[in-house]
Amino acid sequence: MKSLLKLFGWPIISGLLLAALTIILFPQYFSSSPAIFLTRPQQQEAASYANAVEIAAPSVVSIYTARRTAPSAHPLLQDPFFRHYSNNSNSSRQQRIERSLGSGVIVQKDGYILTNHHVIKGADQILVSLLDGRESLAVVVGSDPDTDLAVLKIELPSLTPIRFGQAEQSRVGDVVLALGNPFGFGHTVTQGIISATGRYGLALNTYENYIQTDADINPGNSGGALIDVYGRLIGINSAIWSNDGDSQGIGLAIPADIAHNVMREIIANGQVVRGWLGIEVQERSAALAKSSEGIIISAIYRNSPAARAGLLPGDIISKIDDRPLITGRMGMTQVASLKPGQVINVEVIRKGKASSFELSVGKRPTKLD
């Protein structure tokens, strides 16, 4: 027995000692943690918006307009003596044709198209060109200068209407694409982000609530589509903010929800019917804004609902039908949403005293003098 221990004991002990020493010196080889495999990172695919463009592009049209204008007559042509001895009797009757271009968006498969009012203003002839090469003359269904929107109608089969998105859910930083006909180049796509929302006070239109984008919007893009990455319409491209008329990274689009409401009114009534009180308002100073609510009446139109009710310049309108007014923009929007003939209660602060007036809402005139 002892001889066996001598024979096998020392090798066994040496093996155990070597194993223990190995575990102490190289513990990583005996860890119970899962193995880590290093793999080459997968290359990220480049972002593409081709699917969005493919969805929306057939709904975006190019618009070409022509307008006859009479040239300004030379002062000599107004002189009877000169006309008697000259052979220019027909000069003052000669006309020239002014041509311009823009874009539009097909909104219904039966041929209704949304565009800007300024694109078709004063046009004698309007030609619409589709992505597939088809062309058609268009008629004006109605126009709304207060929002710079207009609706056209064409008679062509198999039209592709745009899908409307929800502009109110758009966020600053969202990627957007502008589709249109810049400089008459034909269908063109530019890309950017939403830079801001709710832009107003730019003195471009009566009612302003613009989406601001840095996607290039150039002359000819007006009336075209601003879409999201899913090909849905979120705005109608309308203007650029520039010192020289060129794009400088500030484009403005009318939100799709506003455009849709105006479109429905025009298709139904040929115009947008808005409520009107006959007042001009001004924003309150910072000090007044902290101390009270309301908008200040700066002027009142003659024979208007406000004039007939007895409102005066300097009055502060604090509420309409118990709804507080904070800003002039809010007040204009609230009044515009009222129906002509509707009777409302207006709460006014005059020289520190609160008063209440009952008004019958009028219809906003097309032109205000």
Q: What is the mean pLDDT of residues 241-258?
A: 78
Q: What is the pLDDT of residue 26?
A: 57
Average confidence (pLDDT) over 50-60: 96
State residue 10's pLDDT score: 58
For residue 253, pLDDT over 60 is answered with yes
Higher per-residue confidence, 237 vs 327: 237
Q: Which residue has the higher pLDDT, 284 or 124?
A: 124
Task: Answer yes or no: do 236 and 330 share one domain.
Answer: no
- Is 118 an active-site residue? yes
84 counts as catalytic: no
* Domains identified in the chain, total number: 3
Residue 319: which CATH number?
2.30.42.10
pTM: 0.74
Same domain, 258 and 288: no
Burial class (CB in 10 A: 0-12, 13-18, 19+), 50: exposed
Dump pLDDT digits (tens) for 57-89: 999 999 999 988 766 555 555 556 555 555 555
Question: pLDDT (tens digit, 9 = 90+) per residue, 266-286?
Answer: 999 999 988 899 998 876 655
Report if residue 34 sits inside a domain.
Answer: no
Mean pLDDT of the chain: 82
* DSSP string covering 147-213: TTEEEEE---SS--PPEE--GGG--TT-EEEEEE-GGG--SEEEEEEEEEEEE--SSSSSS--EEEE
User: Do 194 and 244 reside in the same domain of the chain?
Assistant: yes
Single out the catalytic residue among 59, 136, 222, 238: 222
Do 310 and 355 lie in a common domain? yes
Residue 302 in domain:
yes
Residue 80 lies in a domain: no
Question: Is residue 201 in some structural domain?
Answer: yes
Residue 24's pLDDT is 61
Which two structure tokens, joined as six digits, stand for 12?
A: 């066994």
Reply yes or no on whether the pLDDT at 119 is more than 70: yes
Distance CA 289, CA 287 (A): 5
195 & 281 share domain: no
- The two beta strands, 210-213 and 188-199, are antiparallel
In a domain, 344, yes or no: yes
- Whether 74 is catalytic: no
Task: Say whether pLDDT at 113 is over 90.
Answer: yes
pLDDT at 250 exceeding the cut of 70: yes
Q: Based on the domain organization, do 264 and 294 belong to the same domain?
A: no
Q: Average of pLDDT values for 329-346? A: 86
Neighbours of 252 (CB within 10 A): 23
Q: Specify whether 170 is located in the same domain as 255.
A: yes
State the amino acid at position 12 in one-letter form: I
Q: Which two tokens stand for residue 91?
A: 């000069």
Asked if 235 contacts 254 with a C-beta cutoff of 8 angstroms, the reply is: yes
Active-site annotation holder among 59, 62, 117, 118:
118
User: Tokens 């003659």 appear where?
Assistant: 302
Give the residue numbers spanning the domain of 212: 163-269
Residues 262 and 313 in one domain: no
pLDDT tens track for 166-191: 888 889 999 999 999 988 888 899 99
The confidence band for 331, taking pLDDT boundaries of 50, 70 and 90, is confident
* Of the listed ranges 14-23, 116-125, 198-207, 234-243, the one predicted with least confidence: 14-23
Domain membership flag for residue 107:
yes
The verdict on residue 245 lying in a domain is yes
User: Does 326 have pLDDT greater than 90?
Assistant: no
Residue 128, domain member (yes or no): yes
Residues 123-130 have a mean pLDDT of 94
Which residue type, as a one-letter code, is found at position 168?
E
Residue type, 108: Q
Q: What is the mean pLDDT of residues 257-272?
A: 93
Query: Which one of the listed residues 144, 148, 216, 315 is annotated catalytic?
Result: 148
